Amino acid sequence: MDGAFFADGLKFSCTRCSRCCRHEPGFVFLSSRDLELLARGLGVDGGEVVRLYCRDVPVDGRLRLCLTEKPNLDCVFWENGGCAVYSWRPLQCRSYPFWQSNLSSRERWESLRADCPGVDAGEMHGREEIEEWIRRREREPLVVRSQNGA
């Protein structure tokens, strides 16, 4: 990401407002590492995590493993004013808002402010740290399989 608009870093601090976890449909895609962390934190095996809290979502001819949502569209792990698995939450949640799609331009980054009070506020994150979140996603690929079960 040479010449990235965030060369001098970006400010972000999660305020735990839960806007990214509630009231709207969304997808929290999981890696094998995410499953391991959730299983360990919940005291169950990975298969049980998948059975109780996950679903497959078709994306580009393949199925991606994703957390389910409650009927009101809250994340399956949102309860009593916050995330019940905050310490073991998936990489997608831990790395927000430092996703490649959000870092494509300054305009895209600034558009996040409308929904997230932590964007451009709080702690300064340097370019290297931000780019490490992107590299980490590459090192922890999402769980995918073909739609025909293979």
52-84: pLDDT as tens digits:
999 999 998 899 999 999 999 999 999 988 899
Q: How far apart are CA 117 and CA 56, in angstroms?
A: 31
Identify whether the C-beta of residue 99 lies closer than 8 Å to the C-beta of residue 12: no
Across the range 96-100, mean pLDDT stands at: 94
> Which position has the token pair 């409650």?
70
Between 25 and 15, residue with greater pLDDT: 15
Q: Where are the beta strands (DSSP E) in the chain?
A: 10-12, 54-59, 62-67, 78-79, 82-83, 119-125, 144-146
Q: Is residue 65 part of a domain?
A: yes
Q: Is residue 86 part of a domain?
A: no
pTM for this model (two decimals): 0.88
Predicted local confidence at residue 118, as pLDDT: 96
Same domain, yes or no: 53 and 11: no
3-state secondary structure (DSSP) of residue 11: strand
Same domain, yes or no: 43 and 73: yes
Residue 72 sits in which domain range? 23-81
Predicted local confidence at residue 132, as pLDDT: 96
